[in-house]
Structures are given as structure tokens and as C-alpha cells.
Structure 1
Amino acid sequence: MTNNTVNETERMTITRVFDAPRELVWKAWTDPKYIMQWWGPKGFTAPVCKMDFRVGGKLLCCMKAPDGQEGWNAVEYHEIVPYEKIVSLMYFSDPEGNKIDPAQLGIEDEAIEGAYDVTLFEDLGNGQTKLTFIGNEPTESAKNSGQLDGWNEILEKVAAVVAELAQAK
């Protein structure tokens, strides 16, 4: 009998260390006014971001490409441990947050059935925080589809937001 499930080590995992306390990294990740500054890869903007940050709540963001094309993403929150962990499910949506089949958008989706995105926030001491994002897509698919590069670009934008928050503190 073969096991076709993908374990966590085979899932797209991205880690970033920020020179800022965990509270600031959490704030950048969970406040819609900051999410609008980093949502989407390099060159993309987020003109709309609505958030109900609670278990059972939802984030709805519009991602605008450099050519002006808009796409929507929704995120459902399944577990929130303040300053430590967020378990969520992200998907393509319409502007009202209704799920859209990625194939309708011409996107091949390799999401692992039943897998959630997990974001971990670890206090490393000395004012540093390690953020680990575990996506619901296998690593190889994420590399081939550009998801891995996109998430690395997103974390660069998050780093800029965190640096601004740290400076303002």
C-alpha cells in the first residue's frame, strides 16, 4: 500500500528572520493596513484588503498586477495563537470572497487536499523574530509554478514594512 499524502517537509516552506520583536512582525502580518503594503509579489499592489481576524473569520484582498489586471484572494482563519501561530486556508476568490476554481483563471493548482497554510512566529531573542510560512503546496510544484519565488518576494516586502514599524517605535 502506498501513501500518497505529502508530509510537512515536502511542503513549500519559507523562513525569514526579522530584526524586530515578534509583536511587530505579528502586527505587519495581521493588520490590513500593513497587509496592503506587502500583499502580492514584487510590482504588485493591494488596493483592497478587508479582514475579520478571528477563528472562522476571513481576509479578502485584491492583488493588482503591474499591467493593471486584478485578482482576488480569500483567506479563512482556522486557528490563531496570538504571536505564535496562524493556520489558514488561502484560495482564489471573486470580489465577494466566494471560492473560484483556479482552472477558471488559467492557473494550475497543486494544493494538497486538506492541507492548510501555517505561519509560525518564533521569538529568537535579541529583538529578532523568525517567521516560517508552510504553504499548502508541494515544494516542487511551488518552484515550478513561481509560488516559491512569489512568496520570497512577498517576504521581502514584509521585511520593509517591519523595518518601518521598528523605526517608528
Structure 2
Amino acid sequence: MPITSVSKDPESLTMTVVAEFDATRERLWEAYTDPRQIEKFWGPVEWPATFTRHDVFPGGRSHYYMTGPDGQQSGGVWEFLAVDPGHSFEVRDAFADGEGNENTDMPSMRMTFVFEEREGGSRMTTTTWFGSAEQLEQLLAMGMEEGMASAMSQIDDVLADLASFAAGKGADLQVLSDTQIRVSRVIRGSVEQVWRAHHEPELLKRWLLGPDGWTMTVAEPAVSVGDTFRQEWAPNEGVEGEPFGFTGELLEVDAPFREVTTEQMIGIEGEPSINELTLTPHTDGALLTLVITYPSSEVRDMVVSTGMVDGMEASYARLEREVLA
């Protein structure tokens, strides 16, 4: 059990939890900033978590929900107030629905997570500030302390799993819901380098090609919210296939960490998908996370079955080899 102490101070309205780990501080930080990893231990054992958004930068947000044994869901949202990469972050933690909309009928809390080195491993100190003595008692009565202990009992297995989340593993597909998937990959380059590679036309044409034998003929990125992007590809001579392309609107941008766009195949009618791209600093480069929300489960299954993820992996490998090397 990693928790070594829990202390509650009614005067300062705080609860402080100290936990120690055999893993390094850097490895522990990765576990908390990678949505694939934190969702494996954030919820209690009986209430596993799913993170549909996890933006670890000042002004970023995280959306998650926990699912109980009977299918009941309890959601939460973090607003990142401060981030010192590798060392600490501070959030406002609130109850929310499954879409990340805050439940203002329930109390919110301020939390800090501090990561330190210690002999033989690392230490994390989590301090929670409550708005009032009543809030503190309410949340403790709801099982907050017991839930945290149950959740953290799972973290050692995640920290020991070095292979599942390492650089070089390739693009990783996870199904989040009937209409939503997440594709993740650690890319060997800085967040700034990977962001530029996604937004400079001459760089896009060097790597965003999918399988070998295709050329990107149009690369028109969106710059400001409301702008439209356009991307088109054509097969090289002797390669089977028909030219195709995508277009969409830039809905949100917080360079170089996050952007949200619509995406629709050119010439195809219907509701577009929503793409949420997040870049997070990682020990080996940048963790790229792409959450895609499709109009329906049928559209999701159809797109995934085309070999989309294999094409993305070919492009990301080319990005490392041709642009970031």
C-alpha cells in the first residue's frame, strides 16, 4: 500500500495524503499525466475511471467518470491552475456529469499534487483544501478517504508496467464509449516540434501520408478559431486507390498543447466527427493523445475497420524518421 500517512486539519480545512513508491519521480509523473495510466488507478477498485480529456497545462481541463458495479456513473472535472512539469500540479476538482459539465450543487475542492524524489524511489504529497468545515465533513462522510486508499492500491501495478506505455510501442487504440475512441502515442520530439509538424504545410506533406505510396497534395491548416482546414491525398503512380481528403473547422486552440476540430470526408454528407488533439511533455518526447467522437457507433466501427490506426502509426513513425530525427 503506497499511502504512508493521512492527516486532517479542521482549522485549515485540509486533508494531506502522503504516499511513497519504488518508481522514480519521472515515472510517477508520467502515470498521472497520461490518461491511459491515471484511469487505471484514479477510481476505487469497484469504480474504475475513464478519462475522456486530460490536458495537463495551466488552463487545461480533465474530464472523467467512474462506473460502479451496477453501471451507475459518477463524473468529475479538473481545472488545472498551475503545472510545474515533473514536480507538481494544482487543480480545482469538481463533480460533473459524463460530458464534463460541472454539478454546481456539489462542493468543489482545490488540490495540489507534489512529486519528490526519495532514496529508492519517489514520494507524492496530495493536499486537498475544502471550502468549509461542512464540505469537509460531507465529502469524508461520502467515503473520500476510503475511496482514495482503494484507488491508490492499484497504482503499483501501473508503475511496474513499463512496456504498455513506453516510447516506441506504436499507436495505441482504446474504445472509450459507443461513439468515442482514443489514439495515443509517445513521439520522440518536443511538444513544440510535434505541434509545428501538425501545423506547417511543408512539414505536413513530409509525414502525414499514411501507408507508403501516397502523396499529400493539399495541406491547408486552420490557424484561428473559426478557420477551415483542408487536407487531400492521392496515390502515387502504380499504387491502387482513389484521391480523397478531409475538411473541418477549428473549434478550440491552446497552442502548443491542444486543439479541437470537426472533421468530415470531402464529398460525403452527414454529421462530422470531433477531433481533440492533446500534446503532453513526456520523458521520451511528447505524448500525443487524439480523442475522436463519431456521430454514431456504426460510423465509429466503419472508420476503425479501415485500418485507420495502422495508417496513423505509419505516419507517426515517418514523422519521427523524416522530420524530428
Give the TM-score range, shorter chain: 0.7 to 0.9
- Is the counterpart of residue 122 in structure 1 residue 116 in structure 2? yes
2:39 alignment partner, one of 36, 46, 52: 36
Please give the TM-score of this superposition, normalised by the length of structure 1.
Answer: 0.79
Q: CA deviation at 1:125?
A: 3.1
Question: Deviation per CA, 1:37-74, whole angstroms, max 9, x where unpaired?
Answer: 11211211124431122100001011101111012111
Identical-residue share of aligned pairs (%): 27
Q: Give the aligned partner of residue 230 of structure 2.
A: none
Q: Secondary structure at the match of 1:123?
A: strand
**Higher RCO, 1 vs 2 (CA within 8 Å, ≥6 residues apart):** 1
> Which structure is larger by alpha-carbon Rg, 1 or 2?
2
Q: CA deviation at 1:136?
A: 2.6
Q: Give the aligned partner of residue 155 of structure 1.
A: 152
| Aligned ranges 1:81-100 → 2 under 5 Å | 81-100=84-103
Q: Secondary structure at the match of 1:33?
A: helix
Q: Give the aligned partner of residue 144 of structure 1.
A: 141
Could you tell me whether the CA contact under 8 Å between 1:85 and 1:120 is conserved in 2?
yes
> Cα distance 1:75–1:167, how it changes in 2: closer, same or farther (>3 A)?
closer
> Cα distance 1:89–1:43, how it changes in 2: closer, same or farther (>3 A)?
same
- Is the counterpart of residue 69 in structure 1 residue 81 in structure 2? no
Q: Secondary structure at the match of 1:25?
A: helix
Structure having the larger proportion of residues in helix: 1
- Is the counterpart of residue 14 in structure 1 residue 17 in structure 2? yes
- Is the counterpart of residue 134 in structure 1 residue 134 in structure 2? no
- Is the counterpart of residue 79 in structure 1 residue 72 in structure 2? no
- Structure 1: stretches of 5+ with no match in the other structure: 104-108
Whole-angstrom CA distance in 2 between matches of 1:80 and 1:118: 10
CA RMSD of the aligned region, Å?
Answer: 2.6
Could you tell me whether the CA contact under 8 Å between 1:62 and 1:70 is conserved in 2?
yes
Q: Secondary structure at the match of 2:151?
A: helix
Q: Give the aligned partner of residue 106 of structure 1.
A: none
Amino acid at match of 1:88: V
- Structure 2: stretches of 5+ with no match in the other structure: 1-9, 167-325
> Cα distance 1:159–1:99, how it changes in 2: closer, same or farther (>3 A)?
same
Q: Give the count of matched residue pairs.
A: 153
Please give the TM-score of this superposition, normalised by the length of structure 2.
Answer: 0.43
Which segments of structure 1 move beyond 6 Å, counting only runs of 4 or more? 166-169
